[in-house]
Chain A
Amino acid sequence: MLCENCGQREATIHEVLIDASNTKREKHLCEVCAAGGGPQEPTPESIPAPVSELIGKFMVGGPTGTGKAPAGMPTCASCGTTYAKFKQSGLLGCPDCYAAFEQRLGPLIERAHEGGSHHVGKIPKRALEDSRGGGRLDAILGDPAERTKRLAELHKALDSAVQGEKYERAAEIKQEIEQLRTLFSEGDA
């Protein structure tokens, strides 16, 4: 079956979407379109698919049964988990898998988290203090490009809070932005 979005590649990802009126609709996409890399769909879903469905689709999508990764499928050097294996189970093998699969995992994670692509919020307290002493802040806070993206994520949340007239939340997010800026400037010092 060909991908219903681009009509060019084989559909390996099969989703069942349920809308507010409990109507089921099936979607058959290739990996590129499912990850958001293909042409935009003419009728975007008004309801975000629940996270379990997004991950669930990996259990029915992609090559199964052979246990072998097709050529070009990335493999985590630390634990040997292949991307194909992750697609089957929805679970990763080790912390390093995130870096090994970052390119493919990024768009999937973004869809699963309502567009959230960068962590904002708590940072391990002691690890942060330790890295301050050792000058390894990048390992915790990310490089300058990562930091910019993180701030952009917060600004996005701030805009949405203001638009939704959630002023109390907007004030909190502003505070978070300030805290993060202070942290970043300390890191640069």
Chain B
Amino acid sequence: MVESGDPGGLPVFDRGAEWLRGEGAASDVVMSSRVRLARNLAGYPFQTTTTPEQQMEVLQLAHARLMDVSLAESVMWVDLRELSDTERDLLVERQLISRQHARGKVTGQPGSTERPRAVAIGLPDERQSVMVNEEDHLRMQSIRSGLALTEAAAALNAIDDEIEAGLDYAFHPRFGYLTCCPTNVGTGIRFSVMLHLVGLKLTGEIDKVKHAAVDMSLAVRGFHGEGSDAAGDLYQLSNQTTLGKSESVLLHEMERDIVPRVIDYERHARKELMRTRRTWLEDRVHRAHAALRSARLMATSESLDLLGLARLGSSLGLLPDLDPVEVNRLMLAVQPAHLQRAVGRALDQQERRIERATLIRTRLGG
């Protein structure tokens, strides 16, 4: 069931996802900021031991509540059992659901696409969304372009209060908000930023940043979270500690201490490349731009890497005619489900490479 003003499957998502606007603070380095809250309903077991009947009850309770909560101008309720694999992948690519939610999988159990689960999406900007029956009963997120964790956290906090006004959460005086995995217990909050660290990659300093992040108990992941690689030199940085520190302390650690340091480090790397290896850098950027505008076959990872270089070129003023927002949009449009949706049919790998190359050439005026 997809409930929205536009019946007949998933809407086309005419407007690009808000987080791809390429605007906001420090958007030369920070692609997007995301805040996530994990919540479970009191009186129901966690996903690991729920019966299908209980999963249905949670789904219905969440549905009734979420349609009343001001997630956005309008709320689209998507029952994931009723989507095709490609449609579910489309939501993964848009960062609206996790890969394991798409597959109906809870860690340690076999996945089933028939598992009762859904996502509520705030439209038209897709800034706020809530996954229902993922690892926790509710996983809500707020996402913004650029460095904007404070705004995202404030929006999510208000939504959390609204949901809780009509549903009882599982809460413990010592452990706080109870979650299926004890690594999320306490505040249940996760602050993440998606960083474009192409400069540090080119100067060979990226591993230093990764080690420093691990030292500070932060998680570093690729574009699509756990287990994904850093295609396009996009890295997600998130806090791992959720107990013993309040939401505001965790927020400030990320937004005022940690992320600005990484941004400075990346900007310094870019500046150094411009100062000491300008011709080499210009060559890399222009070669990437030329390949994007002329290649006939393009794999996803290659296109993301080239778009990453083009994005760098644009932010350094080396490609003045290139629209950085178009580059951001392409980073989503080249992914398999989006590509198939744009073409309007299922494509095999070779067809996808052809269509991807064509799409990029057309959009970049090749």
A contacts, CB < 8 Å to B = 18, 20, 22, 47-48, 50-52, 54-55, 78-81, 88-95, 97-99, 102, 105, 108-109, 112-127, 138-143, 146, 149-150, 153, 157, 166, 168-169, 172-173, 176
Contact = CB atoms under 8 A, between A and B. Distances in A.
Contacts of B219: 50-52
B182 interface: yes
B74 to A, nearest CB: 25
Interface residues of B, number: 54
Given A47-B214, A120-B244, A121-B187, A169 B252 contact: yes
Contacts of B186: 113, 116, 119, 121
Contacts of B42: 95
B244 A113 contact: yes
B275 interface: no
Contacts of B240: 50-52
A99 B48 CA distance: 17
Contacts of A79: 45, 49
Contacts of A93: 45-46, 48-49
B46 A90 contact: no
B49 A127 contact: no
Given A51-B240, A92-B181, A99 B172 contact: yes
Interface in B294-352: none
A98 B175 contact: yes
Contacts of A22: 207, 211
8 contacts: A81-B48, A95-B45, A99-B172, A109-B243, A116-B241, A119-B244, A121-B186, A172-B252
Contact of A105 (B182, B214, B245): B182
A115 B244 contact: yes
B21 to A, nearest CB: 29
A120 B246 contact: yes
B166 to A, nearest CB: 8
A105 B171 CA distance: 16
A112 B182 contact: yes
Contacts of B247: 121-122
A118 to B, nearest CB: 6
Contacts of B183: 51-52, 54-55, 90, 112
B30 to A, nearest CB: 21
B157 interface: yes
B215 A47 contact: yes
Contacts of B181: 55, 90-92
Contacts of B215: 20, 47
B178 interface: yes
A99 to B, nearest CB: 7
B48 A95 contact: no
Nearest to A19: B211
Contact of B164 (A105, A121, A127): A127
Contact of A95 (B40, B135, B160, B256): B40
Given A112-B183, A121-B186, A121-B247, A91 B46 contact: yes
Given A50-B217, A140-B173, A176 B246 contact: yes
A127 B168 contact: yes
B161 A91 contact: no
A7 B44 CA distance: 42
A135 B296 CA distance: 71
A125 B175 contact: no
Given A166-B257, A172-B252, 4 more contacts: A48-B217, A119-B173, A119-B244, A121-B186
A48, A109, A143 — which one has the most chain B CB atoms within 10 A of its CB?
A: A109
A108 B244 CA distance: 14
Interface string B1-23: 00000000000000000000000
A159 to B, nearest CB: 13
A102 B185 CA distance: 13
Nearest to B213: A50
Contact of A116 (B173, B211, B244): B244
Contact of A146 (B48, B49, B174): B174
